């Protein structure tokens, strides 16, 4: 990074982009070693936190495009991590539910994500990690409306 112009190194947006590139690479490498994708973690986490959900709801709460959600759910269902069932309130849609195997898989992926966060944030002490996460969350929430 020291070769980047000082003007860039002084811009939060540039630094966030550089950090995001590193974080993305670390996460993708770790997920690949585990035979998973980042979207798997997001969908499993959303179902775990929100309960049975429609594909549209999963798309909205994870920020994953609807067509990608369908493909991810197909992968997760094929692996036995989620099940589809007709929504009793609206037979035109399915509710996606986490299976016991999916809950265990989510726990494994959560461990991987935690390890990756440790590698990514290694130069920071625990208080700095918490502060950075809190500040980034504020920026993201402000711009998401």
Closest CA to 28 of 109, 130, 133: 109
Give the CATH number for residue 81: 1.10.10.10
Number of domains in the chain: 1
Residue 44 half-sphere exposure, CB side, CA atoms within 13 Å? 25
Cα 84 to Cα 47, 78, 81, 130: the distances in Å are 12, 11, 10, 37
pLDDT band, residue 114 (cuts 50/70/90): very high
In a domain, 75, yes or no: yes
Q: Determine how many CB atoms are found less than 10 A away from the CB of residue 1.
A: 8
Query: What secondary structure does DSSP assign to 43-104, as a single string?
Result: HHHHHHHH-SB-HHHHHHHHT--HHHHHHHHHHHHHTTSEEEEEETTEEEEEEEEE-HHHHH
d(CA 16, CA 3): 17
pLDDT one-digit tens code per residue, 18-70: 999 999 999 999 999 999 999 999 999 999 999 999 999 999 999 999 999 99
In-domain check, residue 96: yes
Which pLDDT value is given to residue 138? 96
For residue 103, is it within any domain?
yes
What is the pTM for the complete model shown?
Answer: 0.86
Confidence band for 73, pLDDT divided at 50, 70 and 90: very high
Residue 76 confidence (pLDDT) = 97
Q: Which residues span the domain enclosing 76?
A: 54-109
Whether 87 contacts 93, CB under 8 Å: yes
- So what's the pLDDT on residue 57? 94
């Amino acid at each position: 990074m020291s070769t980047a112009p000082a003007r860039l190194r002084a811009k939060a947006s540039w630094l966030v982009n550089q950090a995001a590139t590193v974080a993305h690479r670390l996460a993708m490498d770790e997920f690949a070693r585990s035979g998973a994708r980042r979207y798997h973690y997001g969908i499993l986490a959303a179902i775990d936190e929100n309960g049975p959900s429609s594909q549209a709801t999963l798309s909205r709460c994870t920020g994953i495009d609807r067509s990608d959600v369908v493909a991810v759910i197909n992968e997760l269902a094929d692996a036995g991590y989620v099940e589809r069932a007709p929504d009793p309130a609206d037979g035109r849609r399915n509710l996606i539910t986490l299976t016991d195997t999916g809950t265990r898989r989510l726990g494994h992926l959560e461990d991987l994500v935690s390890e990756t966060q440790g590698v990514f944030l290694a130069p920071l002490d625990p208080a700095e990690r918490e502060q950075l996460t809190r500040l980034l969350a504020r920026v993201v929430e402000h711009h998401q409306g």
